[in-house]
Structure 1
Amino acid sequence: MKSTTTLALACSAAFLAQVGISSYLPAVPAIALALPAAEDRVALALAVYLVGMALPMLLWGSLGERFGRKPVLLAALALYGLASATIPSAFNVEVFLTLRLIQGFGAGGISVMARVLVRDSFSGALLAKGLSWLGMTFVIALGIGQFAGSRVQLAFGWEAIFYGLAIGSALLMMVLQRVTFPKLLKADSSLPPWRIYATIARHPPFLHAALLGGLGYGVIIAFNTCAPLILQGHFQWSAAQYGWLGWPISGAYLAGALMVNRFVARTGRLTMMSWGVALVLLGSAVMLLGSVFASGLAVLLWLPYCVAVLGQSMSYPISLSLANDGAPISGSYAMALSGFTHQLMAAMIGGVASLLVTQQASPLALLCVALAGGAWICVARCKADQNALRKISSI
């Protein structure tokens, strides 16, 4: 029962952190008009948020190990909520981006603690299943959050999106005050935090699995960075139409997460992860072909992307569980380091994608193919790592 409660709280926290990525996307043109600023500068808010999530993640992990999960999660929620409530008062794009960076700081702590709570409650294939629930939360935030953001913008203006995030943070803090978390699991090492992180990062079974998850995540970040201008510019979609796209995206991610939750113990983590990365590569390749040979059809952009999302939702929780299981030191450090790696990669990929922002889809599709190809190489490395570990354990 405690594991179920902890999982529900972890999913709620993860939702709040991830909805900061997607909920404002339909409002990018409106925010650009209000500040005022060019749309490509406002589009940097996604990369800035991801940088904010990534930078303090290792610190959040160390604090969680030292002071406990609950106080650190409450602190991260407070920072996130304060920044969210302040964003609507931004009077130029520089202040807007600065506040998004601070909001990302809080989101990074929330994300790390959510994963650590799941890690504290599960292990092995059950950990992959538990992380798949976080994956379902991610897609709700990614897709339905995008839809809800478009509805809120149309009804109350873009500022209400960020006020809503602040209210959500406050409500979750009130709930957490009444909950007792699982017993703190201390890392089995007396090394200082930076040495622990360095030891984990150099371990191939952790590194390859973490890189795989980050490359697949980058496909989603690249699309979210470029898609608003492509679909609302080249294809002349309204903010409401763009918001509706959240539903098929949500359905694709939910389907993949459910498949992991149901079949991973039976199929095996490596097999299911391979299937997922293959779908990411397939969807990205079809996006590229569609952008070259049928650039006037929006369906050849968003539908293959949904296929890629399906694959990513299958591979991501498994890669995260493999990275955690492959870490040579236990505790919250492996989860913090994998989160840092993913968010840093996402920020870099988001920055590259923002340089490619155009009304044409081919640069975006080419970037997605490159990322998916890199993930496929990491699959081979993960299989080699697992084979090596099995040989060592059999000696």
Structure 2
Amino acid sequence: MKSSTTLLITCSTVFLAQLGMSIYLPALLEIARNLSADSSQVAWGLAVYLIGMALPMLFWGSLGQRIGRKPVLIAALGIYGLGNLALPLGTTLESFLVLRLIQGIGASGISVMARVLIRDSFSGDQLAKALSWLSISFVVALGIGQYLGSIIQVALGWPAIFHLLGGVSLSMAVVVARIAFASRTEQVIPSSSWASYWQTLNHRDFLLPALAGGLGYGVIIAFNTAAPLILQGPFKWSPVEYGLLGWPISTAYFLGALVVNSLVLRAGGHRLMKIGVSLVLAGSAVMLVASVTAISVALLFWLPYCFAVFGQSLNYPISLSLANDGAPVGGAYAMALSGFMHQLMAAAIGAIASLIASQQAWPLSLLCTLLALGAMICVMLSRVTPRS
């Protein structure tokens, strides 16, 4: 019963944290007009959010190990909720970016504690299955969040997007305060948190799967950063039309997560991860070819991306599970470190995507292809059987 409750709560909180990445994207151009800023400058809000998610992750992991998972999760939800409520009050680009950073800091704690709570309740192959549900929450937030944001923008205006997100986050903190979570006996660990992180980072069986997951994640981040300018630029999509793209994206990720749930015990994690990364690479490569030879056909830009998303939905939960199984140190450290790596990589990739963002699709497609190629190299170099 506790495991089911933990899964429900963690999926809900991850959904809220990841909404911060996608729900405002259809309103990006309107926010830019409101702040009297260029849309490419406002697009930096995603990179700043990811920086906020990345930087404190190791701190959140250490804090959760010392004082417990629940109080840290409540604090993170509070920071995230208040940051959302405050964001519409800003009137300058600088205030927008600062509050996006605060949002990201809160989302960082939510993400770390959700994964650690899942790890406390599940192990082995069941851990990969449970993490696939977190992946579903992640992509539903990315996909459906776009559509939800577009509807709220049209009906109530863009500030309502952040008001709603902030109110729900604070309500979730109240719910979490009333839940009793499962605990897990930890193995002996080094005396210093930083020693634990360093020992884990230097372990091949942790590092390679974690890098494969992070590079595939970067494909999604890059697309979310630059795609609004492309699809609402030369393709002249409206905010609602861009929001509707969230449905096929979410469907692709949902189907992939179901495949992990159904087949990981029979097919093996490493095999499924290799298939997933191959699909990410193939989808990105088709995007690149299409953007060079048929830029006027929007279908040849977003449909291959959906195949890449399907592949990443296979790759990501398995990469987290294999990295955790391969880590030499127990406790919250492996999950916190993998989250830190992924968000730091995502922040860097988001920044690169912001710098190359234009109304041409080929720079984004090239970046996605290179990221997928890097993920494939990591998978090929990793061991077939994770270290137990």
Q: TM-score range by the shorter chain?
A: over 0.9
Change (3 A) 1:46 1:180: same
CA distance in 2, matches of 1:40, 1:145: 21
Change (3 A) 1:308 1:82: same
Is this contact kept in 1: 2:27–2:153, CA < 8 A?
yes
> 1:188 Cα shift?
2.1
> 1:256 Cα shift?
0.3
Structure 2, gaps ≥5 residues long: none
> 1:175 Cα shift?
1.0
Structure 1, gaps ≥5 residues long: none
> 1:293 Cα shift?
0.7
CA distance in 1, matches of 2:142, 2:382: 27
CA distance in 2, matches of 1:238, 1:283: 25
Query: Once the two structures are aligned, what percentage of the paired residues are identical?
Result: 60
> 1:187 Cα shift?
5.4
Provide, for residues 178-213 of structure 1, a one-character-per-residue CA deviation record: whole Å limited to 9, x for no partner.
Answer: 210112544521421111100000000100011000
Secondary structure, aligned partner of 2:36: coil
CA distance in 2, matches of 1:214, 1:182: 28
Is this contact kept in 1: 2:205–2:383, CA < 8 A?
no
- Kindly report the root-mean-square deviation, in angstroms, between the aligned alpha carbons of the 2 structures: 1.0
Q: After the TM superposition, which parts of structure 1 deviate over 6 Å for at least 4 consecutive aligned residues? A: none
Secondary structure, aligned partner of 1:330: coil
Residue 121 (1) aligns with residue 121 (2):
yes
**What residue number does 2:250 align with?**
250
**What residue number does 1:231 align with?**
231
Residue 342 (1) aligns with residue 342 (2):
yes
Secondary structure, aligned partner of 1:360: coil
Is this contact kept in 1: 2:47–2:351, CA < 8 A?
yes
Using structure 1 for the length normalisation, give the TM-score: 0.97
CA distance in 2, matches of 1:336, 1:185: 18
Q: Which residue identity is paired with 1:254?
A: F
> 1:123 Cα shift?
1.0
CA distance in 2, matches of 1:189, 1:340: 20
Is this contact kept in 2: 1:54–1:343, CA < 8 A?
yes
**What residue number does 1:24 align with?**
24
Is this contact kept in 1: 2:65–2:332, CA < 8 A?
yes
Residue 241 (1) aligns with residue 241 (2):
yes
Q: Which residue identity is paired with 2:124?
A: G
Is this contact kept in 1: 2:186–2:331, CA < 8 A?
yes
> 1:33 Cα shift?
0.3
CA distance in 1, matches of 2:187, 2:165: 33
Is this contact kept in 2: 1:280–1:372, CA < 8 A?
yes
Q: Which residue identity is paired with 1:313?
A: S
> 1:383 Cα shift?
2.7
Is this contact kept in 2: 1:187–1:332, CA < 8 A?
no
Is this contact kept in 2: 1:65–1:186, CA < 8 A?
no
CA distance in 2, matches of 1:209, 1:330: 17
**What residue number does 2:261 align with?**
261
CA distance in 2, matches of 1:376, 1:238: 35
Is this contact kept in 2: 1:208–1:381, CA < 8 A?
yes
Provide, for residues 116-135 of structure 1, a one-character-per-residue CA deviation record: whole Å limited to 9, x for no partner.
Answer: 11111111111000000001
Residue 200 (1) aligns with residue 200 (2):
yes
Secondary structure, aligned partner of 1:183: coil
**What residue number does 2:94 align with?**
94
CA distance in 2, matches of 1:256, 1:215: 17
CA distance in 1, matches of 2:38, 2:106: 27
Residue 75 (1) aligns with residue 109 (2):
no
Provide, for residues 343-368 of structure 1, a one-character-per-residue CA deviation record: whole Å limited to 9, x for no partner.
Answer: 00000000000011100000000000
CA distance in 2, matches of 1:37, 1:135: 34
CA distance in 2, matches of 1:383, 1:211: 13
Provide, for residues 99-138 of structure 1, a one-character-per-residue CA deviation record: whole Å limited to 9, x for no partner.
Answer: 0001100000000000111111111111000000001101
Q: Which residue identity is paired with 2:39?
A: E
Provide, for residues 134-164 of structure 1, a one-character-per-residue CA deviation record: whole Å limited to 9, x for no partner.
Answer: 0110111010011000000011111011111
**What residue number does 2:48 align with?**
48
CA distance in 2, matches of 1:173, 1:275: 38
